[in-house]
Amino acid sequence: MKIFGIPIFPDQASTFAKDVDALYFFIIAVSAFFAIAVAIAVIYFGIRYRKTHDGEIGARIEGNLPLELLWSVIPTIIAMVMFGWGASVYFHLRRPPAEAMHIYAVGKQWMWKFQHLEGQREINELHIPAGRPVKITISSEDVLHSLFFPAFRTKMDAIPGRYTELWFDAQTPGSYHIFCAEYCGTNHAGMIGTVTVMEPAQYQAWLQGGGMEGTLAQRGAKQFNDLACSTCHLDSGQGRGPSLHDIVGKPVELQDGSTVVVDEAYLRESILNSQAKVVKGFQPLMPTFQGLISEENLVALIEHVKSLSPNATTAPATTPAPAAPPAEKK
């Protein structure tokens, strides 16, 4: 939206956009009300009670307890309304629906790399279908970055050593900015890209256009063999490592007796720091792959492991997605 040719309001291209904007306008209205009320009072008093002669002094008013309690309580109530509304929008923003399409993003000085499950890989470009929830799992190869889609009103930091995620449901086909919002060094301002929201049919056509290397999971399967994971993780479960079939989304018992649910964060940790949480009944024999595998290949490998559990619809990352409330649990 523009006034006199000056843009003052960003595109609303996702389902969040109008929720976030409604909140924005509400707080603007409240702020404007208080700012204008105080401004009018201050200016009016300044004129009305202007000192007119030397030696004039003001009325002696020490305070007024009911009044002060009133103007402590009213802002508190208004603040609580803002908090509640903001928190509900945030809950929605942070909880991807189970059927969301999944994409991986890796931040690197100074580019965004995106990987589609179907195999397409893009740099500083992202193609997505309109009207379908998209979940992006984010990591970083070096320093902090932050994946920011202003038109979708969402962003999330890319943190080396862990997965974060964001999701959105882009509604309006078009091209929008992708920014890096966390300062990441010399070319921080150059770490920008374009997200193209396409009609679903167009998107399907686009998907067919590339992807000569096979799907992400297929690339992961190749990694699985290249890194000799397959020599220990036998399907039969008789290998030196546990079978990886049908494990994702399920709890697994560890050596120390505790259990973890197998998700992306656990898989990531087990590959990079294999001694951390060893499955009960196995020896801590697996080498660590820290520094030996790139973030991109890591997600391919994880995607391969996930493909071995066809019944698990989704495996949310432990950090930082919240547990779904019981009503929505599947």
Partner 1 sequence: MLDKLKIPERHYLNNGHGLASWLLTKDHKRIAIMYLISISVMFFLGGLFAVGIRLELATPQGDFVQADTYNKFFTMHGIIMVFFFLIPSIPAVLGNFLIPPMIGAKDLAFPRINLLSLYLLWFGAIFATVAMVSGGVDTGWTFYTPYSTTGSNSHVVPMALGIFIAGFSSILTGLNFIVTIHRMRAPGMTWFRLPLFVWAHYATSLIQVLGTPVVAITIVMVGVERALGFGIFDPARGGDPVLFQHLFWFYSHPAVYIMILPALGVMSELISTFSRKTIFGYSFVAFSSLAIAVFGFIVWAHHMFVAGISTYAAMVFSFLSFSVAIPSAVKVFNWTATLYKGAISFETPMLYAYGFMGLFAIGGLTGLFLATLGLDIHLHDTYFVVSHFHYIMVGGAIMGYMGGLHFWWPKMTGRMYSEFFSRISAILVFVGFNLTFFPQFVVGYLGMPRRYHSYPDEFQVLNVMSSAGASVLGLGYFLPVITCCGR
Q: Which of residues 257-286 bind partner 1 (CB under 8 A)?
A: 273
Chosen residue from 93, 244, 248, 302 binding partner 1 by CB under 8 A: 93
Q: Report if residue 98 touches partner 1, rule: CB under 8 A.
A: no
Residue 143 touching partner 1 (CB under 8 A): yes
To partner 1, the closest distance from the beta carbon of 170 in angstroms equals: 15
Query: Is 25 a residue that touches partner 1 (CB under 8 A)?
Result: no
Q: How many residues line the site for partner 1 (CB under 8 A)? A: 93
Amino acid at 218: Q
Which residues, numbered 116-135, are part of the site for partner 1 (CB under 8 A)? none
Nearer to partner 1, 39 or 98 (CB): 39
Among 101, 181, 234, 279, binds partner 1 (CB under 8 A): 181
Instruction: Kindly state the DSSP code that residue 231 receives in the 8-state scheme.
Output: G
Query: Does residue 154 interact with partner 1 by CB under 8 A?
Result: yes
**Cα–chain center distance at 322:** 12
Radius of gyration of the CA atoms of the chain, in A: 27
Q: Which of the 8 DSSP states describes residue 288?
A: P
158, 136 Cβ separation under 8 angstroms: no
Q: Which residue has the tokens 């992306």?
A: 264
Does 109 bind partner 1 (CB under 8 A)? Our answer is yes
Q: Is residue 318 exposed (0-12), middle (13-18) or buried (19+ Cβ within 10 Å)?
A: middle
Of 212, 183, 177, nearest in space to 195 by CA? 177
Show the 3-state SS of 144-206. CEEEEEHHHCEEEEECECCCEEEEEEECCCEEEEEEECCCCCCCHHHCCEEEEEECHHHHHHH
* 59 scored as a contact of partner 1 (CB under 8 A): yes
| Binding characters for partner 1, 219-248, by CB under 8 A (x = yes) | ------------------------------
- For position 170 contacting partner 1 by CB under 8 A, the verdict is no
Q: Which of residues 184-213 bind partner 1 (CB under 8 A)?
A: 184-190, 192
For position 327 contacting partner 1 by CB under 8 A, the verdict is: no
Of 59 and 212, which CB lies nearer to partner 1 in the complex structure?
A: 59
